[in-house]
Amino acid sequence: MYTRALKRPVLLTYRDYNALGFPNTHGQRIDLVYADAAFAADDAWVAGQSVRHSVIFAEHQPFRIEDCHSKAGERDGMTKLSTASGDHAEGNGHRSPTPADLPAPAPSSVSPEAARSFRSQLTVGEEVVDPATWAGSVPEVSGIAPRVRIGRSKWFNLLWLLPIGLLVLTVAIAVAKGLRNTPSVQEFITAHPGTITSAAAVANAGFPAWVGWAHFFNLFLMIFIVRSGIQILADHPRLYWTRHSTPGKDWFRIQKPVPTDPLWTAKKDSISLPGQVGLPGIRHSIGLARWWHLGIDTLWLLNGAVFYVLLFTTGQWRHVVPTSWAVFPNAVSVLIQYLSLNWPTDDNAWVAYNGLQLIAYFLTVFVAAPLALITGLGMSPALSTRFRPISKVFSIQLARSLHFLVLCYFLVFIVIHVALVFTTGMLRNLNHVFFASDSGNWVGFGVFAAAMVVCTVGWVAATPFTLRHPRVVQRVGYALIGPIQRLFEHVDAKPGEYTEKDISPYFWHNGQYPDSAEYTALFEGNFADYRLRINGLVDNPVDLDLVQLRAMAHHEQITQHFCIQGWSGIAKWGGVSVQSIMDLVQPKPEAKWVVFYSLGDGPDQGIYYDAHPIEQMSNHLTMLAYDMNDEPLSFGHGAPLRLRNEIQLGFKLVKWIKGVEFVEHFSEVGGGRGGYNEDHEFFGYRQSI
């Protein structure tokens, strides 16, 4: 007599019958006595096969096997039956679930034997970019003039700022000229001429060569950062103040209003840019644009870090850091003098900047530049899910909007800065920065002209080089930013950041919808024939239907989705954790990556897939979702099953999943770069930023 308390339902199969110690009873009916009631299996035992309708013992309920016999005879001295806390034989250690622990699949016209290998359905991407066939021959779509929302539904065309700005400048010049002639203002300018020249400034006069080199590198790198940043914005040409990317709630857009088409996707919402404005300048090229943006960002930050160190280890910091409150009245004095078109007479930037320059350079070096870094990191899914109290307030959309405003500040600063350099003593100013000299000769201008040739060549060559050598851009970009992304991935996001009241009212559709005969038949049959095949380097490969998946331990989470294009949304996901799947199939030690295959094709044909490191599959918020916001997944959002891995961007979270394969490395799958978008559109297989 054996008595055990089960910790979960257990299915009695032919394997379990053998564990009881009975001989094979081919074709005979088996009666089991359980809790003083007799149960009979619906199907006869067949040697070597599992019973399709096995007895399921109730959860937490003690069971007692008093007698177990067949029509062929009785047998005593039974071996105990395995439970969640015991082995099939005499062992007492914990065992993981096996395929035998799950109910048998329902009859289906779809079988593993009838299905082709998923890998044979993959395609390899091209090594060059043909704009005519790029991203599935996505058509060119022009955007509109930038607009800012005023109130609930009114939009202001920012092009009106050009005539308005010209009018305001004209009025300001007239006012400044009038003020300049008043005695009180003349006395104010005399008392505050514009520049504070201290003894320390005189002692540290001049610009060493490293200032000029840092200035040039900053100028050169900003070309690619700005162009690629505009390209990234064009992939989701809308900005929001809240974490919800709800159509009509954007405060800035360079695209028409979102149409009412229920199948409208974020990809369809992207716009084209001229080839020499964006980088690389073709529609939906955000993968390549991000390599330029993030890769060059690392060099820009390195240049800035060196500049900071040299600035504060020498006396040069006094050139850009105000040391007296008198800088503010002097800045007002300089502004009046500039607007009156009567330049300050005491300007000597070789020794010290005037008050207005000092404030502008301080804001640029110590406020705008760090803010560009902080807002950029604020768009990282890994960091946002790790630092929940900060991301709760500082959302990805707030970070994205502020990042854009920092870009606008830099552009305005550059225009004004260059204009004043050329109108307030061009030769001397250029000698200061490009030749480290206080002379008024043409040498500095010559160096400046050579620098502009280098910048122009870089600007013009960037787009054709990217289109001809996209793999080089992909590899170099990853070499620059990859180590940082790997560092950010070493987090296991925890639940609890959001509640149901945080769920977004609108969650964008994206990706290419599946339209194959295979998916259509499954959809029309309410996915009754659906099977999730899990195989590869595992001990227990399985095919699971939706009933079996829903019978596994339920997992729920409310998390934020980060799309690589820039939109975000919060949803409640229900399903099964990938850790439970791994407990079931038991990956082999050599399995290091997990590949998810979709029922849908990518835009260049071949099924969509993506690979994830196996260590991320054990994270608390990594799951296979079959529910969204307490309802089964819709067609547009990935029915019947989609992946959630909350430290990665959305394109890696495969929708319409039909298979999971455990592999040693993703290089053996598809194009060998870790996913469909990685193969075809040059994305990165690690995208935690």
DSSP string, 632-681: EPPTTTTTT-EEEETTS-GGGS-SSEEEEEEES-GGGSTTSSSBHHHHHS
Q: Work out the pLDDT band at 495, boundaries 50, 70, 90.
A: low
Q: In this model, does residue 492 exceed pLDDT 80?
A: no
- Stretch 27-41: mean pLDDT: 38
Going by pLDDT thresholds of 50, 70 and 90, the confidence category of residue 603 is very high
pLDDT for 581 beyond 80: yes
Token representation of residue 649: 């961007």
Residue 397: pLDDT band by 50, 70, 90 thresholds? very high
pLDDT on residue 44: 36
Which pLDDT value is given to residue 28?
39
Model confidence at 531, pLDDT cuts 50, 70, 90, reads: very high
Mean pLDDT of 141-148: 95
Lowest-confidence pick of 8-17, 196-205, 415-424, 579-588 = 8-17
Q: What is residue 489's predicted lDDT score, i.e. its pLDDT?
A: 65
Q: Residue range 164-184: average pLDDT?
A: 95
202 — phi, psi (to 5°)?
A: -65, -40
pLDDT at 480 over 50: yes
Cα(677)–Cα(658) distance, rounded to whole angstroms? 18
Residue 426 reports pLDDT greater than 50: yes
| Range from 70-74, 401-405, 594-598, 670-674 carrying the lowest mean pLDDT | 70-74
Q: Is the pLDDT of residue 15 over 80?
A: no
pLDDT the model gives residue 198: 83
**Predicted local distance difference test score (pLDDT) of residue 27:** 38
640 pLDDT exceeds 50? yes
The region of weakest confidence among 214-223, 233-242, 494-503 is 494-503
What pLDDT is attached to residue 496? 67
Q: How confident is the model at residue 325 (pLDDT cuts 50, 70, 90)?
A: very high
Residue 59 has pLDDT above 50, yes or no: no
- In this prediction, residue 346 has a pLDDT band, given cuts at 50, 70 and 90, of low
Residue 348 CB: number of other CB atoms within 10 A?
Answer: 16
The reported pLDDT for the residue numbered 92 is 42
Q: What is the mean pLDDT of residues 208-230?
A: 96
Q: In this structure, are strands 252-253 and 30-34 parallel, antiparallel, or unpaired?
A: unpaired
Q: Which residue has the tokens 């620059």?
A: 480
**Mean pLDDT to the nearest integer, 454-459:** 97
Of residues 65 and 283, the one with the higher pLDDT is 283
Tell the burial category of 420 from Cβ atoms under 10 Å away from its Cβ (0-12, 13-18, 19+): middle
Under CATH, to which class is 500-680 assigned?
A: alpha beta
**154 contact partners, CB below 8 Å, separation of at least 6:** none
pLDDT at 105: 66
The predicted structure's pLDDT at residue 348: 84
Structural contact between residues 225 and 219, judged by C-beta atoms closer than 8 angstroms: no
The most confident of 357-371, 372-386, 487-501, by mean pLDDT: 357-371
More confident residue, 688 or 623: 623
**Over the chain, what is the mean pLDDT?**
84
**Of residues 189 and 80, more confidently modeled:** 189
* Domain ranges across the chain: 2-95, 134-488, 500-680
Interval 684-688 mean pLDDT: 76
